[in-house]
Amino acid sequence: MTTTPRLALVPGEPAGIGPELCVRLAQQPQPVPLVAFCDGEVLRDAAARLSLPLTLRDEHDPGPERAGALRLRAIPRAVPSTPGRLDVRNAPYVHATLTQAADAALRGEFAGLVTGPVHKGVLNDAGIAYTGTTELLAQRAGCDVVMMLASRTLRVALATTHLPLRAVPDAITRAGLERSLRILHAALRRDFGLAAPRIAVLGLNPHAGEGGHLGREEIDTIGPVLDALRAEGFSLAGPLPADTAFLPSHLAQADAVFAMYHDQGLPVLKHAGFEQAVNITLGLPYVRVAVDHGTALELAGTGRADASSLLLAARFAAEMVGRD
């Protein structure tokens, strides 16, 4: 890893709001160098639409960070992009920005990645198998990961991510839960500076199974894993009924919530602070923080897109690499 930590910045879908968010991010001096992996014209066009200054610098420019400037590692688009209009011909470009940034981080050129929104549909329409950036980065690094969304007041990690709901119960195994909880526990200590993390673990079924009357996953799978980890000193509450676990009195006793599936925990976090949260991939050999929203094609080019999540993602990533 370089002496001065650097972060790779991936704007994501060029027809979405990602480039505009990156231009707004560039208006603030950053505590660590940011290098954008994209076509420079995408950023220049976005800056022109927003009437904001933008100077693109060589990624190895030794000068200090300054507002209105961004370092660049140029990756060309296939065709010009139009805000709000997806073009399948640029899907390989989007994929290349992600994979090249990930590979550079794996080589130690960057301490972490900050990623903007990607449109899953257009990548798959182009014949690129893509379920999500979290999964892509895990496959690239050859490691197990955990998805966590976080704000300044709430952290929610997931046992499963982008699966059809009918596939979730079969995906929840003792080995998988133990692996994910170990990753979460280690990341809370390393990346967030928590010496003894407290994790609230949700059940899968309504009322956490109601003693087996509404399902046995809590008894047969989740509970035994929690008991085994508690014996090692982990601070774990649960399995908890999901409908009451997010009450303020319960959250006050937890540093993170571990949900069993995507839509069990994330709607609560997004309701509490949409665009004030970030998506963090735990378990990678580098830091990865992303926005908590999509490409918002209907807002692209209007200048109305809120950059709060990307600004927070950059701050989170800088803080996390600073703890290494």
In tens, the pLDDT along 49-69 reads: 999 999 999 998 887 888 999
Confidence (pLDDT) at 104: 98
Query: Which of 39-53, 103-117, 157-171, 261-275 has the lowest average pLDDT?
Result: 261-275
One domain for residues 77 and 192:
no
One domain for residues 103 and 60:
yes
CB neighbours (10 Å) of residue 201? 28
In tens, the pLDDT along 283-319 reads: 999 999 999 899 999 999 999 999 999 999 999 999 9
Last residue of a domain, one of 241, 259, 277: 277
Residue 251's domain comprises 144-277
One domain for residues 39 and 60:
yes
CATH number for position 219:
3.40.718.10
Token pair in block for residue 24: 């707004």
One domain for residues 41 and 138:
yes
One domain for residues 92 and 210:
no
One domain for residues 200 and 294:
no
Residue 185 annotated in ligand binding: no
In tens, the pLDDT along 185-210 reads: 999 999 999 999 999 999 999 999 99
Please compute the mean of the pLDDT values over residues 93-122 and round it to a whole number: 97
Token pair in block for residue 81: 């992009």
Distance CA 53, CA 67 (A): 9
Residue 119 annotated in ligand binding: no
Decide which of 273 and 37 is more confident: 37
One domain for residues 114 and 201:
no
Residue 288 annotated in ligand binding: yes
3-state class (DSSP) for residue 107: coil
One domain for residues 209 and 111:
no
Confidence (pLDDT) at 2: 45
Residue 271 annotated in ligand binding: no
Confidence (pLDDT) at 62: 82
DSSP, res 151: -
One domain for residues 261 and 182:
yes
One domain for residues 131 and 248:
no
Confidence (pLDDT) at 165: 95
Quickly state the pLDDT bin for 1 (edges 50, 70, 90): very low
pLDDT at 275 over 70: no
Distance CA 94, CA 13 (A): 6
Q: Which residue stretches of the chain are H helix?
A: 18-26, 40-50, 91-106, 120-125, 133-141, 168-171, 174-190, 217, 223-230, 242-245, 248-251, 262-273, 308-323
One domain for residues 79 and 170:
no
Residue 207 annotated in ligand binding: yes
One domain for residues 6 and 118:
yes
Name the nearest CA neighbour of 34 among 118, 138, 149, 111.
111
Overall number of domains in the chain: 2
Residue 279 annotated in ligand binding: yes
Confidence (pLDDT) at 296: 96
